[in-house]
Structure 1
Amino acid sequence: MRWSARLTGVPWRAAPPDGAGTDEGTPSTDGVVVPGQRDPIGPTAAAELLDPHKPQNLREVLNRIPAPVAVTYGPLHQLGYANRAYRELFGDRPTGLPAGEALPELGTMGVLPLMDQVIRGGRPRSVKARCILGLTGNRYYNVSCVPLGTGDTGDAPAEGPPAGVLVFAAEVTDQVLAAARLREAERRQREAAVTLQRSLLPQKLDQPADLRVAATYQPGGAEAAVGGDWYDVIAIAGGRTALVIGDVMGRGLRAAAVMGQLRTAVRAYARLDLPPHEVMCLLDGLAMEIDANQIATCTYAVWDPQHRTLSYASAGHLPMLLRCPDGTILRSEEQNGPPLGTGGGLHVSHTLRLLPGTTGVLYTDGLVERRDEDIDQGLDLLARTLTGAIGAPEVICARLLRAMGVTSEHDDDVAVLAFQLPGEEGAENPLAALDSAIPEA
């Protein structure tokens, strides 16, 4: 039987005119490149083989292909032919037997169900990077199953089911191994970034006598590069406490390194006893010097137990949430300054008087931001969650992460800092704001 055959995805090429080209392979006058001596088929045979108007013997065509090819027929996929490359790879295969017996390697690769689909639907099917065990080292192949019929050109026959299936395997071992090496390199880099990130965060938080604090950091999942989230609690003069949350834009080791420099700078600036907006101005200039192409957001707050006030300034960071003793949730929505590293922005300090029993939460965008939702939805959910998240600060951190769906496979890293004032009996009003919006000097 003579079939006109063409593999899926391989276009016909016009045969070169007589006398065109050289042994090294040169273009003819019409731009067609003639294969040189390195072509295993040879220029004369290639011209005859690729003539779209000349019927070809299917076995001759397939036997010239260096990749393994097998042809089966009937609903049981009885083996009709396996080309030379197939036999060299797997050994001789008995014709006439069903593929499950004659071609056991196809069963190992999960190709047999694919062949059933081809017979039923008459359309090509394929699988990628299937491993063949038992050979010298593991070898991987992309396998395509193409419907065949008398007079077929690679598509399904016009009427009735296909007469058979052509199975074509293309080796992709080098690509698979290269991808595996790349994934391993990325895994090692991510582990290094996580280690650096954790080493730069506080190993133990200061615990002031008049303020309970807790914090947590959750790196993103395996598919997410580590970012530059950080938090800190700093004891400063006068029995006051500085609370810091920040997020360096970007991912990987560079973001973690910039984060470490900013955190160190915050600790130094905090001890200068400056108001929050001045600390932000200093950090803004430093961020520009560290890396002009990388910006960061930050909230810096100072708790003064003597006056029971919380003064803070924000550089483009998400709003702080406060839960009052009566359960009311307040969101800080006063004017924010621009992110650190942008330069020249106006930063403003704000002051709040907190009542005993007030709980506050500072966090990074990974806690509330989702790709398929507006960020306001995440903020609203966090506020509702905080309403019922009672207990010590460490319990609140854990409950917020769980309620917001943050797991080890989360697509972004998350930092949360919770603080809580000890409660007192007789507190009535939820929160009183002082009139101190202090602009930058």
Structure 2
Amino acid sequence: MNLMRWSARLTGAPRRTAPSAPSSTATESLPLPGPRDPETAAAALDHREIHELYELRGVLDRLPAPVAVTYGPLHQLGYANNAYRELFGERTAGLPAADGLPELAALGVLPLMDQALRGGRPRSVKARCILGPAGSRYYNVSCVPLAPADPPLDTLAPRPGPRPPAGLLIYAAEVTDQVQAATRVREAERRQREAAVTLQRSLLPQKLEQPADLRVAATYQPGGADAAVGGDWYDVIRLGAGRTALVIGDVMGRGLRAAAVMGQLRTAVRAYARLDLPPHEVMGLLDGLAMEIDANQIATCTYAVWDPAPGTLEYASAGHLPLLLRCPDGSVLQGEEQNGPPLGTGSGSHVSHTLKLLPGTTGVLYTDGLVERRDEDIDHGLDLLARTLAGAAGGPEVVCARLLRAMGVTAEHDDDVAVLAFQLPLEPDGSDV
């Protein structure tokens, strides 16, 4: 911007004075430039089109990415740049892609070329492997339609010569580094998951205690390969006077940290159970311990005590899903909805509930992976679980297997699942009829 020219227009700005005439000596030693003529400057430029200013093949041959141009419905090869020929070898122009470009068929690109030519829209595939002298290399391959050349808009006459047919520009962008990095990340995640699963299983009971007056069974199913292992656990603890403690819990979060916290909580439950405290007091102790372990990580838990003398089940819940009971007549009851907050919140306001159980009753404790689905309300999962339990006749082992199968829990499930089933005998002496 010429600041002096603009300043002459501003109020109060000093006017420029004409420069003094140069001396004859300065005129002879310094030649003055002639006036600029825009018409002359524009005429000096070459008005040829851009593809004439730069030879397209020369540009493409300098590209490090493989590029090929095909034409016609058979995708006959019109041109392949140096990078393409170095990667795949020399190719004969004019041959259809099915015959002259076998590498495109091996990469699964031929159907993509048909789609791009018919639809007139670019199509691409990602991370296709090409085996070469240096090993496996990966490319994202794109097919871009090239429409027939149109006549100039400023002329009525068509271009001289035949118009080229529609074709495709095929180019491959190498992504070997990205693919190898992603593979390393997946391998590290796989090793970490295997370590978490091993830790998780080692912290769970290797063999459940089997009281004389109660049949129990449990199962643990880790999530699939894409799901990180959580902190689900269960336990069966023999207490004095013939009583049995039944425990299930779930540490929020995933991975080794959740499994480690789960192990500490499970050990603490076994220690607190020996104090012969009511369930809600055990929950209060666990709540304080969970805060000491990790104030940012919470857990849910249900702690129940079966006492065969009065035939009662006393339990307390810390934010866990409700206990389900299948009565001898096949009806299913749900435990008290009122429960305390999860462990690690520091509130300690847990309540114990007592249920009178009939002989032949089957109870189920479970974690949220059994009933929770990302695209469904959890009440739908709870209803399905209750209907399944109503028809699940048989021992605790059979009940666990049927629940997993009916709820769609497989090796590829997106969350880990723990189920603890217990069953009272039909006869007071412990024998079933």
Q: So what's the TM-score if we normalise by structure 2?
A: 0.83
Structure 1 CA distance, aligned partners of 2:79 and 2:120?
20
1:84 to 59, 82, 85: 82
Any unmatched runs of 5+ in structure 1? 1-47, 153-159, 426-441
Any unmatched runs of 5+ in structure 2? 1-45, 151-162, 429-433
**1:424: how far off?**
3.1
Between 1:54-63 and 1:168-177, the stretch displaced more is 54-63
Shift in alpha-carbon separation, 1:162–1:414, aligned structure 2, 3 A:
farther
User: Number of aligned pairs?
Assistant: 369
8 Å CA contact retained: 2:279, 2:314: yes
Give matches, 1:378-389, under 5 Å: 378-389=381-392
**1:150: how far off?**
4.1
Shift in alpha-carbon separation, 1:283–1:173, aligned structure 2, 3 A:
same
8 Å CA contact retained: 1:119, 1:161: no
Shift in alpha-carbon separation, 1:318–1:52, aligned structure 2, 3 A:
farther
SS of 1:254 mapped into structure 2: helix
8 Å CA contact retained: 2:326, 2:389: yes
Shift in alpha-carbon separation, 1:196–1:331, aligned structure 2, 3 A:
same
2:291 to 272, 284, 288: 288
Give matches, 1:239-254, under 5 Å: 239-254=242-257
Percent identity between the two aligned chains: 83
Aligned position for 1:212: 215
Q: Does 1:358 align with 2:358?
A: no
2:95 to 94, 97, 110: 97
Structure 1 CA distance, aligned partners of 2:72 and 2:268?
75
8 Å CA contact retained: 1:286, 1:341: yes
2:233 to 213, 230, 234: 230
Between 1:314-323 and 1:105-114, the stretch displaced more is 105-114
Q: Does 1:298 align with 2:293?
A: no
SS of 2:205 mapped into structure 1: coil
8 Å CA contact retained: 1:147, 1:162: no
Write the letter of the residue equivalent to 2:357.
L
Aligned position for 1:28: none
Q: Does 1:407 align with 2:405?
A: no
Q: Does 1:373 align with 2:371?
A: no
SS of 1:314 mapped into structure 2: strand
Aligned position for 1:59: 57
Structure 1 CA distance, aligned partners of 2:306 and 2:300?
20
8 Å CA contact retained: 2:340, 2:351: yes
8 Å CA contact retained: 2:149, 2:164: no
Structure 2 CA distance, aligned partners of 1:262 and 1:348?
19
Structure 2 CA distance, aligned partners of 1:417 and 1:294?
24
Structure 1 CA distance, aligned partners of 2:208 and 2:164?
72
**1:90: how far off?**
1.8
**RMSD value, Cα:** 1.8
**1:237: how far off?**
1.1
Write the letter of the residue equivalent to 1:251.
R
**1:101: how far off?**
2.0
SS of 1:133 mapped into structure 2: strand
Aligned position for 1:264: 267
Write the letter of the residue equivalent to 1:288.
M
8 Å CA contact retained: 1:201, 1:231: yes
Report the structure number with the largest CA radius of gyration: 2
**1:52: how far off?**
6.8
Write the letter of the residue equivalent to 2:347.
G
2:124 to 126, 130, 136: 126
**1:377: how far off?**
0.6
SS of 1:138 mapped into structure 2: strand
Aligned position for 1:320: 323
SS of 1:165 mapped into structure 2: strand
Structure 1 CA distance, aligned partners of 2:210 and 2:164?
76
Aligned position for 2:174: 171
Write the letter of the residue equivalent to 2:140.
N
Structure 1 CA distance, aligned partners of 2:366 and 2:88?
59
SS of 1:185 mapped into structure 2: helix
Q: Does 1:424 align with 2:422?
A: no
Write the letter of the residue equivalent to 1:278.
E
Structure 2 CA distance, aligned partners of 1:380 and 1:161?
66
SS of 2:328 mapped into structure 1: coil
8 Å CA contact retained: 1:228, 1:249: yes
Structure 2 CA distance, aligned partners of 1:218 and 1:329?
24
Q: Deviations over 1:404-431 (max 9, x none)?
A: 1000011000000000000039xxxxxx
Structure 2 CA distance, aligned partners of 1:174 and 1:162?
37
**1:60: how far off?**
2.4
Structure 2 CA distance, aligned partners of 1:235 and 1:280?
18
**1:118: how far off?**
1.5
Q: Deviations over 1:231-275 (max 9, x none)?
A: 000001111000000000000000000000000000000000000
8 Å CA contact retained: 2:283, 2:348: no
**1:334: how far off?**
3.9
Structure 1 CA distance, aligned partners of 2:50 and 2:365?
70
Structure 2 CA distance, aligned partners of 1:184 and 1:131?
19
Aligned position for 2:338: 335
Q: So what's the TM-score if we normalise by structure 1?
A: 0.81
Structure 1 CA distance, aligned partners of 2:364 and 2:177?
50
8 Å CA contact retained: 1:120, 1:161: no
SS of 1:199 mapped into structure 2: helix
8 Å CA contact retained: 2:244, 2:305: yes
**1:328: how far off?**
1.4
Structure 2 CA distance, aligned partners of 1:345 and 1:52?
77
Structure 1 CA distance, aligned partners of 2:315 and 2:322?
11
SS of 1:313 mapped into structure 2: strand
**1:162: how far off?**
6.3
Write the letter of the residue equivalent to 2:291.
M
Structure 2 CA distance, aligned partners of 1:415 and 1:209?
24
8 Å CA contact retained: 1:119, 1:162: no
Structure 2 CA distance, aligned partners of 1:324 and 1:91?
75
